[in-house]
Homo-oligomer: A and B are copies of this chain.
């Protein structure tokens, strides 16, 4: 197996910096668009053969890890909160949460009860990968999942969620506890099914101040991560807009901390501490620049990492739908062309 990714997660030296991109199996790839023309997003997620096909599509670009094709919202359906992906609008929760009574009705499911198709997909993908690269599993964190449940979909300012969180802290904690319970078990089940690492996406948590993070979010994330870390595979903890939360997120858990594109990388890693691996943090929009400029920006990230073992090259957030594939490939090749001759 190409184990650069896993070695970097463990902060062991590697020949070159491993690279994978969040949402690397996605709409920017013609193969993916061709499949999406025939199947909905949820159909692909729920059909192990299709999920396997999509998960493997970006391998030809030379990435050092595959990430399970799925969606962070999948656990919500068996919990009792149905949703759909509305065309061009992103996820739409059918009955957004406005009351404690709705939270009480949410089921703390076992992954085998409603998410078996994800575990089946993992087994199918692992077989198809045949050990070429490691497979990353993932789940959404309670705050980010709660944001969809309460806002009903994407949100600019998260006003409904914050109003709920601030005015009904007990109901908020019940919601997050239920989500944390499901996510914890789901990540364990993914590891048992064969993933080689997991990533917890707390994509929107950067909306909070450090004090609010510590009060309303951290206990729930900690509950998940401190337990999942015992399973012995690398655990990546990721969010965006989290420059001010790096220490809090590190303390909540994770063996690898993700940094978004706006976090100065060298300073961020120093703050997190060199006893943690880090992942990031090329700006996804630089992939719309001429390839030479995108490579120059990739160099800035690599320069900031300074050859230190424990850096996984990635974007600061998911790859954007219209991204030119050739620039993605050029950046991957560029990262791989830089030999790591020494460690600092």
Contact = CB atoms under 8 A, between A and B. Distances in A.
A288 B159 contact: yes
Contact of A320 (B157, B241, B286): B157
Interface stretch (A43-51, A135-143, A160-168, A192-200): A160-168
B263 A159 contact: no
A207 B261 CA distance: 9
Interface in A211-246: 211, 241, 243-244
A300 interface: yes
A293 B244 contact: no
Given A157-B320, A211-B300, A293-B166, A263 B244 contact: yes
B162 A289 contact: yes
A interface SS class: helix
A285 interface: yes
Interface in A319-343: 320, 322
Report copies per complex: 2
A62 interface: no
Given A157-B320, A209-B262, A262-B206, A285 B244 contact: no
A210 interface: yes
Contacts of A284: 157
A286 B288 CA distance: 36
A166 B286 contact: yes
A94 to B, nearest CB: 22
A158 B209 contact: no
Contacts of A163: 285, 288-289
Contacts of A244: 243, 262-264
Given A166-B293, A243-B244, 10 more contacts: A157-B284, A157-B320, A159-B320, A162-B285, A162-B286, A207-B262, A207-B285, A209-B261, A241-B262, A244-B263
User: Which 3 A-B residue pairings sit nearest by Cβ, starting from the closest?
Assistant: A166-B289, A163-B288, A162-B285
